[in-house]
A and B are shown apart, each in its own frame.
Chain A
């Protein structure tokens, strides 16, 4: 072996490096370059629509402008409200359904597949679908309300209704993801542990809260993190269902971002906002990743 290696003149280290190189190149191209240029653009005043106008370096002016804009703070507050609501609904429903689907009953696998379907649809399609369902005049939701003798609600025209409408659509689409991961987590618990809990006389509720849930935590935290980041970026549903209205009351930060970037084409300002958003998401992720590591150590 030693002879062959010498003949080719490649050490193990070099070979390893060569294998890693393509992945590294892709990473640099797809992540590092855009990220660095994003940082750079965020310090410029320019618009990609007007390549003829020279970009003007403005330092941190874009950030200053954004962070002192009271409207943007409102966007952040609304986004936070939406994130908390939608993630909570998805987790409560998702874990509940996954728990029920643990049992063996006829048609369970069919039901499971059915539950997974919304996740596979295109978000913008889901948005329009729910927009029609929530139509105040001829939408399905108000029709169902009328069957129960309830009055018509202006779902998408009032901000406090609209946020629930979008939460419903988002939960309809993404609860399946929580069901999927929670099911995986529940099934990953060793049979012996569940039988030990039976023998120990644990009631279903006691077992669920003291054994099933704590042992599923690592996977649930990952699911939570993914849903959190995704909810934070939710854009399509608002675009399709409310268009950010009434006024700009249902504008999320990322919707605002896409409007600045591709509506007004203030490229520098949009870049700065993207950086702010990124920092928030990385910060949130780090909290949960650290929690995840603490959960899994020692087991």
Chain B
């Protein structure tokens, strides 16, 4: 196990900058998830740590030691790939033994290690089968077993669960999390699935266009997004973004300039950003509820589009400035259309500038 430091890590492919001067420290034993849309540089960063990609500039350090020049074979990192990378001509047992044999570990130790890892992953029934005949879930388990069998410095996981059925994926996610905690191995997990990131990570590193947008514990990214992109990318359903203009007693929302009264402190805070020509109010659907007393602070009249049920939760859609927004139905007044009041939880509302910057101010406690 090792702590990993990335210093001004930059990777360019021709004119394209895949990773743009990233600085990041991974604590020993930490589970970090790189999250972001395709092409954001998360996999490239992972491959740099693995030694499969050479940085254009910057340094990679394991426990303070620069490893840029070390070949992948010498870094003692483990990696689980997105698509199955088990050796198809070897049985699961031989696959797991492979990294140990490659390092010249003795037979008796190999046997011990295989027994140990077989127990953890419950692999006994498939140990002598070839990977080609196994279902994707079992294959990834075997790949995981192969990766942890030799106490790696860092465990790298490149969307390892994406080829697995939704139902089984949830289960694997939990197993993975428990395993990581049990082994205490520094882990980097790459995904574009924010739910996966939120449920797995000690720390989420949200990336976009080769840069880190925000890095922090899942709750921090959820509650305190660094910008509009972070707010949009994290949370399901996605955050509602309402275009707004500042007025004397609050905001005018959307093209229709629907009035939204704000309490004085909030209004005062926003006034500090009065120079912004357009601001966006962001509120998660979880923090919008159907009903309220029109005209009160935090209550907005909106045209209701419809309601629907997802599992035990009931949601509704409304329209602002041509965009569909969502909220939760907590108490039902039975109305099914027309103008309805909705209540925004003003403690959870976030504001953004036209360019996506988060608008912040000192909140009086």
* Residues of A participating in the B interface, judged by any CB pair closer than 8 Å: 190, 192-193, 195-203, 206, 210-211, 214-215, 217, 298-299
Q: Do A214 and B102 touch (CB < 8 A)?
A: no
Q: Which 3 A-B pairs have the closest CB atoms?
A: A200-B99, A196-B85, A198-B72
Rounded to whole Å, the gap between the CB of B156 and the closest CB of chain A is 8
Contact partner of B73 among A198, A210, A215, CB < 8 A? A198
Contact partner of A206 among B71, B77, B102, CB < 8 A? B102
Contacts of B132 in A (CB 8 A): 298-299
Contact partner of B52 among A195, A201, A206, A298, CB < 8 A? A195
Rounded to whole Å, the gap between the CB of A160 and the closest CB of chain B is 40
Contacts of A299 in B (CB 8 A): 88-89, 130, 132
Contact partner of B81 among A192, A201, A210, A298, CB < 8 A? A192
Task: Decide if the interface of chain A is mainly helix, strand, loop or mixed.
Answer: helix
The answer, yes or no, to whether B98 is at the interface (CB within 8 Å) is: yes
Contacts of B98 in A (CB 8 A): 197, 200, 202, 210
Contact partner of B133 among A196, A199, A298, CB < 8 A? A298
Rounded to whole Å, the gap between the CB of B227 and the closest CB of chain A is 34
Residue of B nearest to A207 (CB): B102
Contacts of A199 in B (CB 8 A): 50-52, 72-73, 77-79, 99
Residue of A nearest to B146 (CB): A200
Residue of B nearest to A204 (CB): B73
Q: Do A193 and B85 touch (CB < 8 A)?
A: yes
Contacts of B133 in A (CB 8 A): 298
Q: Count residues of B near A (Cβ-Cβ below 8 Å).
A: 29
Q: How far is the CA of A6 from the CA of B102 in the complex (A)?
A: 67
The answer, yes or no, to whether B87 is at the interface (CB within 8 Å) is: yes
Q: How far is the CA of A206 from the CA of B102 in the complex (A)?
A: 7
Q: Do B83 and A201 touch (CB < 8 A)?
A: no
Q: How far is the CA of A193 from the CA of B83 in the complex (A)?
A: 10
Instruction: State which residues 118-152 of B face A: CB under 8 Å.
Output: 130, 132-133, 146, 150
Q: How far is the CA of A211 from the CA of B130 in the complex (A)?
A: 14
Contacts of A198 in B (CB 8 A): 51-52, 71-73
Q: Do B87 and A203 touch (CB < 8 A)?
A: no
Q: Do A192 and B87 touch (CB < 8 A)?
A: no
Q: Do A196 and B71 touch (CB < 8 A)?
A: no
Residue of A nearest to B47 (CB): A195
Q: Do A201 and B73 touch (CB < 8 A)?
A: yes
Known contacts A192-B81, A196-B79, A196-B81; is A201 also within 8 Å of B130 by CB? no
Q: How far is the CA of A202 from the CA of B76 in the complex (A)?
A: 11
The answer, yes or no, to whether B363 is at the interface (CB within 8 Å) is: no
Rounded to whole Å, the gap between the CB of B134 and the closest CB of chain A is 11
Contacts of B77 in A (CB 8 A): 199
Q: How far is the CA of A215 from the CA of B71 in the complex (A)?
A: 23
Rounded to whole Å, the gap between the CB of B251 and the closest CB of chain A is 52
Contacts of B312 in A (CB 8 A): none
Q: How far is the CA of A197 from the CA of B50 in the complex (A)?
A: 12
The answer, yes or no, to whether B103 is at the interface (CB within 8 Å) is: yes
Rounded to whole Å, the gap between the CB of A295 and the closest CB of chain B is 8
Residue of B nearest to A198 (CB): B72
Contacts of B85 in A (CB 8 A): 190, 192-193, 195-196
Given A199-B99, A299-B89, A299-B132, output 16 extra A-B contacts at Cβ < 8 Å.
A192-B81, A193-B87, A195-B72, A198-B52, A199-B50, A199-B51, A201-B74, A201-B103, A202-B98, A202-B99, A210-B98, A210-B102, A215-B88, A215-B89, A299-B88, A299-B130
Contacts of B52 in A (CB 8 A): 195, 198-199
Q: How far is the CA of A206 from the CA of B87 in the complex (A)?
A: 14
A-B contact pairs, 16 of them (CB 8 A): A195-B52, A195-B72, A195-B81, A197-B87, A197-B102, A198-B52, A198-B73, A199-B52, A199-B79, A199-B99, A201-B73, A201-B99, A201-B103, A210-B101, A211-B87, A217-B89
Rounded to whole Å, the gap between the CB of B231 and the closest CB of chain A is 35
Rounded to whole Å, the gap between the CB of A296 and the closest CB of chain B is 10
Rounded to whole Å, the gap between the CB of A209 and the closest CB of chain B is 11
Rounded to whole Å, the gap between the CB of A214 and the closest CB of chain B is 5
Residue of A nearest to B129 (CB): A298
Instruction: State which residues 58-83 of B face A: CB under 8 Å.
Output: 71-74, 76-79, 81, 83
Contacts of B71 in A (CB 8 A): 198
Q: How far is the CA of A215 from the CA of B98 in the complex (A)?
A: 15
Q: How far is the CA of A216 from the CA of B181 in the complex (A)?
A: 39
Q: How far is the CA of A195 from the CA of B150 in the complex (A)?
A: 17
Q: How far is the CA of A192 from the CA of B79 in the complex (A)?
A: 11
Q: How far is the CA of A8 from the CA of B150 in the complex (A)?
A: 70
